[in-house]
A and B are shown apart, each in its own frame.
Chain A
Amino acid sequence: MSEPILRVRGLTTTFGDGALHAVRDVSFDVMPGEVLGLVGESGSGKSVTLRSLLRLLPAGGRVAGSVCWHGRDVLAMNEAELRGVRGGEISMIFQEPMTALNPVLPIRVQIEENLRAHTKLDGRGRRARARELMDLVGIPDAARRLDEFPHQFSGGMRQRAMIAIALASDPKLLLADEPTTALDVTIQDQILKLILELRDELAMSVVFVTHDLGVVSATCDRMAVMYAGRIVEEGAVADVFACPRHAYTHGLLGSVPQAGAERSMLLSIEGTPPGLARIPEGCAFNPRCDFATDICRRTRPRLAEMSPGHHAACHNAGAVAAAGSPVRRAMRDG
Chain B
Amino acid sequence: MAEALLSAIDVSKDFAIPRSLLQWARREPPAAVHALNGVSLDVQRGETLGIVGESGCGKSTLARCLVRLLDCDDGRVVYDGTDIATLSGAERRRFNARVQMIFQDPYSSLNPRMSVRQILSEALRVHRMRPPGEIDARVAELLDTVRLPPDAADRHPHAFSGGQRQRIGIARALAVEPEVLVADELVSALDVSVQAQVVNLLLELQDRLSLTVVFVAHDLRLVRHISHRVAVMYLGKVVEVAPTERLFRDPRHPYTQALLAAAPEIDPGRRTHRAAARGELPSPINLPSGCLFRTRCPHAFDRCRSEVPTLTPRGPVHVAACHLDHPEPTE
Contacts and interface: CB of A to CB of B under 8 A. Distances in A.
B197 A270 contact: yes
A327 to B, nearest CB: 6
Contacts, number: 142
A268 B197 contact: yes
B298 to A, nearest CB: 13
B182 to A, nearest CB: 19
A102 interface: no
Contact of B226 (A184, A259, A263, A273): A263
Contacts of A211: 191-192
A272 B163 contact: yes
A262 B225 contact: yes
B114 interface: no
Contacts of A41: 191-194
B193 A257 contact: no
Nearest to B248: A259
Among B162, B204, B275, max chain A CB count under 10 A is at: B275
Contacts of A238: 268-269
A176 to B, nearest CB: 15
A265 B276 contact: no
A194 B273 CA distance: 9
Contacts of B302: none
Size range of the chain B interface in the assembly: 35 or more
A214 B193 contact: no
B124 interface: no
A186 B224 contact: no
A263 B203 contact: yes
B297 interface: no
Interface string B259-270: 101111111110
B196 A269 contact: yes
A205 B263 CA distance: 24
B221 A214 contact: yes
A257 B264 CA distance: 12
Interface of B: 48, 54-55, 161-164, 191-197, 199-200, 203-204, 218, 220-222, 224-226, 228, 244-245, 248, 258-259, 261-269, 271, 273-278, 280-281
Interface of A: 41-42, 154, 156-157, 184-190, 192-194, 196-197, 211-215, 217-219, 237-238, 241, 251-259, 261-263, 265-270, 272-273, 288, 327, 331
